[in-house]
Structure 1
Amino acid sequence: MRDMVGSDLKAIRGRLLSFVSEPAGPGDRSSYCFIEDGIVVVRDGRIDAVGEASELAPALPPGTAVDHHPDGLIVPGFIDTHIHFPQTQVIASYGAQLLEWLNKYTFVEEQRFADAGHAERNAVFFMDELLRNGTTTAVVYATVHPGSVEAFFAESERRGTGMIAGKVMMDRNAPPGLRDTAQSGYDESRTLIERWHGKGRQRYAVTPRFAITSTEEQLEAAGALNRENPGVYMQTHLSENLREIETVRQLFPDARHYTDVYDRYGLLGERSLFGHCIHLDDDEVRRLSDSKSVAVFCPTSNLFIGSGLFDLKRLSGGADPVRVSLATDVGGGTSYSMLRTAAEGYKVLQLGGQNLPALSAFHMMTRGNALALGMGGSIGTIEPGCFADLVVLDARATPAMAHRMETIEGDLDEELFVLMTLGDDRAVRETYVQGRASK
């Protein structure tokens, strides 16, 4: 450890789990580092040292604050790669598939975000929910209103979290209160990029909602924003619903397929995240693979809205592998919890004759999603230099979990599977952002 004098220093002690590679399957002990009694030393918001408590504790300066979680499992903060901040009061809306759901519920609610006070109140609630569920970084959709982005980033900056977000661009097929124009969408997005991208831990995502709500002129403007602002992200939706796909085909008759609509405007790439990606043909998979774009697996929303089943094996394990991340997709998704999301992902894959081992799920929620965002070495692992964004988990948080854990003795894989299958916000004992407890 370096000299501690004059630094903002603390330590967090407990059972530590962090991944070093993608697990090859259940029981892959080479994929992670596990310390039964470890210490994370935090200096000025970042991890300064990690190791056995027996070695690090004696070296701590006298009076160093130590948060001790003797039976807690400490993992990197969860990362959610697709979630809608304006949909906190849309979640659990009954009985509709995608396009009807948008018009009946989502677009009605999102119009309320024209009011700055409403946006600010919802930003506070949204951040509270993320942190209560152990999520310390998220890729976030705001509304068409620039003020919604301002409210969200301001709240994230206040809490010290690292977020990626953007103003939705929509210039057709939406209510007048939710439409911009190709030019205003470009201008407002550019202003937000200048104000927020790279400010502290905040990052911007160019955000055309999906092809149905953007004209060709607006998609060209989105591509221009990407080209003109290296380092920004791009997020949108792709091939979620069969009726959606048919509508895109009608709106863009010259495109080879849905993915081609985005491709022709320069929206594919290493920092491009495409929510859902359920109904893709082989050429679309190849193009996503070649461009290193990210397909975002959103299991709870795919089930709730009845969109279809994600094919992880085809996308990540085929001849043209596509980078894949995991996300809640609130409010089509039904839980802010990445644990609940992983549990539904397991069930989705089971229906397709596939599997999601607990090690793989926890890797996706942490290091895997960090790599998908190009943020490996900054978040997603417990190692020196990373932000000290951590979650303390309790596999005995509920009576049912405690009862199940009576049969598990020292088997980390089984403990993780209990957390992922039975866990939710109640299993999150504490969330740390830059080493500060935030729950």
Structure 2
Amino acid sequence: MRVSMHRIIDLRSDTVTKPTAAMRRAIAGADVGDDWYGDDPTVNLLQDRVAELTGKQAAAFLPTGTLCNQIAMHAYVRSGHFVVCEAQSHVCGMELHSAAALSGVAFRRVPARSHGQLTAEDLERSLEPDPYDVGVVDLVVVENTHQLGGGWPAPVASVAELAAVATARGVPLYLDGARLFNACAATGATVAEYATHSDALMLSLSKGMGAPIGSLLAGDADFIREVRRLKILFGAAWRQAGIMAAAGLVALDEGHERLISDHENARRLAAGVAEILPGSVDPSAVPTNIVFVDVTGTGRTPWQWAECLASVGVLVTAVPGRVRMLTHRDIGPADIDAVIAAWKRIESASVTEPEKTCPPHAGDCGGGGRRSRVAEGPISPSAAAATADRSSGISVSRSATPGGRGNYTSSGLAGGSLRAVGNTTDSASSDPRGHWRHRY
């Protein structure tokens, strides 16, 4: 794969931001202790601040949002019982295997009519008691914003209606707030207003807020006490975690106010692509920082589009039928112009030279009757380094849903573990799990 030597514009996720100068100074000067013992002063300060921000009694600092979700479900849900959530929620999609392995919980998926937004009526039906008293629901999870719903934010009133239904059924409501700060920026609500209608919630600092790592769980004191026990049980008791907490504190100071610009950039990006590929994206349906482009009917798969865009220095992710792009702090108006120009250049090349799908020197991106080298399955953004041009050292993504599995070409594993990316020689095992199967 050939890669543009110009500046890489990374739209794979809002998790790819680099720490700001203020964050780096805070990290270098952080006052630290041992978080296992609970005596890291900077971690404790961050936890107290998030507890105050959410209006909850306490909070716990964890490495990832996924771990927050998994610990919360483990705390609330008995093995063999159900979690109710929207059908395309992160917890029942990307985290499905984690929940099975760690907690043995099952999911009752409820399809939403629009943008991943459940209604009170939807939830009411899903919480109807099992007449045989076998299926038991222990938790309702609401994702806000809803990633696969196009980053759609649920208004506070909607969350309140869902909470009322859950409360009436005696079921706690947990808010997966990986991008709750984006929801607040879009709706004008505060974090505390959302938190009021949840028994517990998670906030990520490493997405739009721009911190290099870290998310927090917030809830009542008994819940957080159990969270801290599970944090140790699951091997997530950091030591001198104050260096990361320090960056999180800076993110809380400087991150929220600038999210509006991310949303504006996303809408402008959507409008530009809509002009190039009419009907592929509706700019009015881009309320926050996530843009999905429907590329069905363009003559290329989403993975081929990702390959072509990477060849001109634009990194995106791909899911079935769609290309996903996320704006974030490191993306400015000039970058949006460059990305729109890249889409236009690639589409123009396919019109003027139908035997090709990418501009000159873009590599084999498929289409035009040519067989693509791109894997016809999702590959994690974490595999970007393994798909780099080895001579340039520049990472290139031909990825799809974060954490997803990819189907490799004949030179390697078929559907193998992502840890085998880059180790796809003919000597690889024919077992779909490859030699990694010996680890389990």
TM-score of Structure 1 vs Structure 2, range by shorter chain: under 0.3
Q: TM-score, normalised by structure 2?
A: 0.27
Larger strand percent = 1
